[in-house]
A and B are shown apart, each in its own frame.
Chain A
Amino acid sequence: MKAPAFDYARPKDVAEAVKLLAEGGRAAAGTQSLGPMLNLRVAHPTLLVDLRGIDELRSVSENEKAVTLGACITHAQIEDRKVPDPTGGTMASVAASIAYRAVRNRGTIGGSLAHADPAADWPTALTLLNAVALIQGPKGRREIPVESLITGIFTTVLAADELIVALRIPKRSRRARYGYWKFCRKAGEFAHAIGAVLQDPETREWRAVLGALSGPPCLIQEKTLDDASLISSVAGIGEDAYSRRLHAVALKRALAQIQ
């Protein structure tokens, strides 16, 4: 199938992009999800706003507390460690497990988050890392933690004229450890279950997230996870017993990575 007709714009800066979005444009970056949606005629934008010509969205900055990645940084750049990795390699390995290299060459971290496919990796991984999305709209900038950005399947708090500009990912101590395990039936497939955990002994930070749910990623509150609490933590999620089993296993195996 072929995409329906649409207009195309390639703005030079974020302000111009936001203006075009306010006029009804649809943001496009790596088009690894939007492209198939266009060709299947599931999406019918009248104007495609190509964000790849905007330098700011491809910029990277770093200070003592955090790394900030422009929204158009690709999975491949993260996989290849062409940009600073505040997790000491966990983000690179998450990136390397996304789909296929051809997809990673074009797909972007901001695009993946804004698309909010529950089975994608960044919504879960960035929730785990307590990343903050820097968002620009017609009224200026605002910051939203990723854990409150995604509200449902393919649904976020972003207004139609708002854009994720960058993601600020906090740094943690050298002793911090990360676990990330996902279940796919074959290499490159979207995940059926994701379990993710992090523990920083120096700050006593502890986070655990379940992903690939029929809704946004789920932060787990329990501080200690034994077999029984694992089962209870997945009790309310998943569509059926199979799905709950996969999610419990994913979390257990993510935990095993940091123990």
Chain B
Amino acid sequence: MTAKGVGARLPRKEDERFLRGQGEYVANIRLPGLLEVAFVRSPMAHARIRAVAKPAGLETLVFTAEDLEGVQPIRAVSGLKGFKASEQPILARGKVRQVGELVAMCVAQTRAEAEDLADLVEIQSEELPAVVDMLQARAHPPALVHEEWGDNVFLESLVDDDLSQVKRDAAVSVKRKIKTARQHMSPMEGRGVVCEWNRRLGQLVMHSAAQMPHVNRAGLAECLGIDQGAIRVIAPDVGGGFGYKGILLPEEVALAWLCRRLGRPVRWIEDRREQLSANANCREHHYDLTLYADAKGKILGIDCEATVDSGAYSSYPFSACLEAAQVGSILPGPYKMDRYRCRTWSVATNKAPILPYRGVARTGVCFALELMVDAAARELGIEPHEMRLANLVQPAEMPFDNITKKHFDSGDYPEAVRRAAQMIGLAKIREQQKSATENLSSGYPAARRIGVGFSIYCEQAAHGTSVYHGWGIPMVPGHEQCAARLTPDGVLELRIGAHSHGQGMETTLAQVAHTVLGIDTNNVRLIHGDTALTPYSTGTWGSRSMVMSGGAVAAACDAIGARVKSIASKLLEVSAADLIFENGNIRVEGTDRRLTLAEVAHTWYRKPQLLPADVDPAGLEATAGYKAKVDTGTFSYACHAASVAVDTETGQVEILDYVIVEDGGTLVNPLIADGQVYGGTAQGVGTALYEEMPFDAQGQPLATTLADYLLPSATEVPAMRIDHLETPSPYTRFGQKGIGEGGAIAPPAAIANAVNDALAPLGVEITESPLTPRRIVEALLRVGK
């Protein structure tokens, strides 16, 4: 490892502009003649639209579905058997199926004036019963979200197994209903779109806060009925995405159409209320679970019925099958078991579509499974972490194919649990709980009870074609490319189709280039976030970019390196095999003879007469690709442990300590990896204790501002401690694994297990997230405490 290569704790190159407030986001873009758009959104969750009346005299500034001639609805179809497709209209036609659905588009000089116009548009409609509860939606539907389906089920899936033997053998069978709240993704920057029409190229240029610009372009082209070459998507700096910015929004299609229609630039910047009430929903799961174990705590089998509230539409490109179908395949987590049965339903309701949020289905699955493990451990009278140790895949068994054929690449799962138990001070906490007189400096000792909880997950990341093709969704990842160029002055330009929205890829990919070519990271420029300038990519999602783009950058640097060596071997009159890259130079091994990369580049571009006669005319530009040796993905994992104090009078939970033992394989930049873990865990704390998007019986969202939708802030996020194991993946270029999502997966389970550990002596167990004071107090009241 060098000071700037793979493995270095290098501060982020991006921070120079971000920390000075000089990032450039969509909302910073100002174009001459720019018009602002405000949308008229449905105030009702489910209604038949009779008419949409434009304000008299202002008709030319208001657009409805009638105007969008030739524009197709968004269709994200899954190839999974039995999947029912939905058509998400760009502007509502016939029916509205969620509060906040787009009904009309108003354009004016300023956003405020556009909103004035929107206030004047009248929707005449007939309200229909709203489908709000996912279990009711399936079993006793009050209405059909999509009448033509005959029911409210996007997709049903079954992983079947015979559990009869397991039921006979089990010493305990633990049965629980577990629920995770509907949540909302809250990137600091919302969505935003600025569209302009380039007359010279006959091309729509869309600036969008997007994490998957190439996929956006494909979806846009399908909806607009124009070829992909007629669209250029530019994603400038993106202030957090978490999955939300991978989605093709109806707003994007509407703005693209409007820009073409008017021949003028238009923009829409999402406000927090639009985001909360209409768009960035996620995470709502319900589980009906039975876990069978023997007397020593060995898991014999799991039986699960899981329902996911998928909302009104199947979103592009991940579709409405993403969460529920994944639940079936990932529920067993990092554990071994003999039998496993899981039936899942993706249910349509009159709510915003559920979108993939950091961790995707894993956060819910981890919550469900890890609560079950603790419940079983309590029933058996064994320590929860011991029960985990008894069931985890052992390091000697790696690589390991689990019961759902997931291929775990490497790692020492039990060691993560053992270290976490030690770091959190399990033995000491048990003593404190026994002595009952707890010596905490603040608070009300009689009302405070302390507890400790663990959770462990493994996370499939950077998974490729063999995993995704079966889902048959509009986007199947496989390979990844990088187009690299050494400029005449020796700067390396890297072009990739993935896009950073907080991952620090300008830094980490420069570290990869440094490791291959010895080039200083300050002489590497990353060009990304522009479909016109970069190779196609499915984008940055699924914890994939460090593995996939990292691999592609290394491959492109290899290709450039070979050509540099070929030129240098002529100039230095040595064999290319004797040359090595080092500190921005190419040096003859064992001697001081060297050329700088800039000297080689200068020769190629400016003094071609000095080049060898048989020089590769492809030059110092190379596009190279990467595909993992085994494309089922890397499996990073982590054990989180929390100690909490629960105020049994108010139900308030205080996190006293929080530790994470994480294995992301080879860490390309441990500083950035820690940042990913901190940020993800902060979101996990939100999932555990604060974040919830409730609805009333009419399908109205009840948390439409950040005063009602509680996000954890600096005060509520604990000072977590991180320890890293570094077990390289055998399948990736440097042994790196994807870890971007992991932090957000484990906290709800760890914190809930800690709360339940604290409350167990009172006979209380919470199985619903977030663990709000109300839920805790009401559970205590039910047992008379």
Contacts and interface: CB of A to CB of B under 8 A. Distances in A.
Interface of A: 1-5, 36, 40-41, 183, 185-190, 192, 241-242, 245-246, 249, 253, 256
B115 A41 contact: yes
Given A40-B273, A242-B781, A249-B649, A185 B710 contact: yes
Interface stretch (B122-130, B472-480, B711-719): B711-719
Contacts of B781: 241-242, 245
B650 A249 contact: yes
B652 A253 contact: no
A118 B115 CA distance: 31
B648 to A, nearest CB: 10
Most chain A CB inside 10 Å of its own CB: which residue of B110, B651, B690, B716: B651
A3 B112 contact: yes
Interface stretch (B663-671, B753-761, B769-777): B769-777
Nearest to A187: B715
Contact of A2 (B111, B705, B713, B778): B111
A41 B710 contact: no
A183 B777 CA distance: 13
Given A187-B716, A241-B781, A253 B444 contact: yes
Contact of B705 (A3, A36, A242): A36
B716 A186 contact: yes
B271 interface: yes
Nearest to A186: B716
Interface in B487-515: none
B116 A5 contact: yes
A189 B710 contact: yes
A190 B110 CA distance: 33
A3 B715 CA distance: 31
Nearest to A252: B649
A243 to B, nearest CB: 9
Interface of A is mostly: loop
A4 B112 contact: yes
Contacts of B773: 183, 185, 192, 242, 246
A1 B716 CA distance: 28
A-B pairs with the 8 shortest C-beta distances?
A2-B112, A187-B715, A249-B649, A242-B777, A242-B774, A2-B111, A186-B716, A1-B271
A40 B705 contact: yes
Contacts of B119: 4, 41
Most chain A CB inside 10 Å of its own CB: which residue of B273, B650, B781: B650
Contacts of A190: 707
Nearest to B36: A2
A242 B778 contact: yes
A5 B113 CA distance: 9
B710 A186 contact: yes
A40 B274 CA distance: 11
Contacts of A40: 273, 705
A183 B773 CA distance: 10
Nearest to A192: B773
Given A185-B772, A187-B713, A246 B650 contact: yes
B112 A241 contact: no
B777 A245 contact: yes
Interface in B730-779: 772-774, 777-778
28 contacts: A1-B115, A2-B111, A3-B112, A4-B112, A4-B115, A5-B112, A5-B116, A40-B273, A40-B705, A41-B119, A186-B690, A186-B710, A186-B713, A186-B715, A187-B713, A187-B715, A187-B716, A188-B713, A188-B715, A241-B778, A241-B781, A242-B778, A242-B781, A245-B650, A246-B773, A246-B777, A249-B649, A253-B444
Given A186-B716, A190-B707, A246-B650, 18 more contacts: A1-B115, A4-B112, A4-B116, A5-B112, A5-B116, A36-B707, A185-B652, A185-B772, A186-B690, A187-B713, A187-B716, A189-B710, A241-B781, A242-B773, A242-B777, A246-B773, A253-B444, A256-B444
Contacts of A4: 112, 115-116, 119
A186 B711 CA distance: 9
Most chain A CB inside 10 Å of its own CB: which residue of B111, B115, B273: B115
Most chain B CB inside 10 Å of its own CB: which residue of A4, A185, A246: A185
A231 B437 CA distance: 27
A253 B110 CA distance: 51
Most chain B CB inside 10 Å of its own CB: which residue of A5, A40, A241, A245: A245
Interface string B614-649: 000000000000000000000000000000000001
A103 to B, nearest CB: 11
B165 to A, nearest CB: 45
A241 to B, nearest CB: 6
B753 to A, nearest CB: 21
A241 B715 CA distance: 28
Interface in B89-144: 110-112, 115-116, 119
Nearest to B447: A249
Contacts of A245: 649-650, 777, 781
B713 A1 contact: no
A70 to B, nearest CB: 28
A137 B648 CA distance: 49
Nearest to B707: A190
Nearest to A248: B649
A159 B774 CA distance: 38
A188 B112 CA distance: 29
Nearest to B782: A241
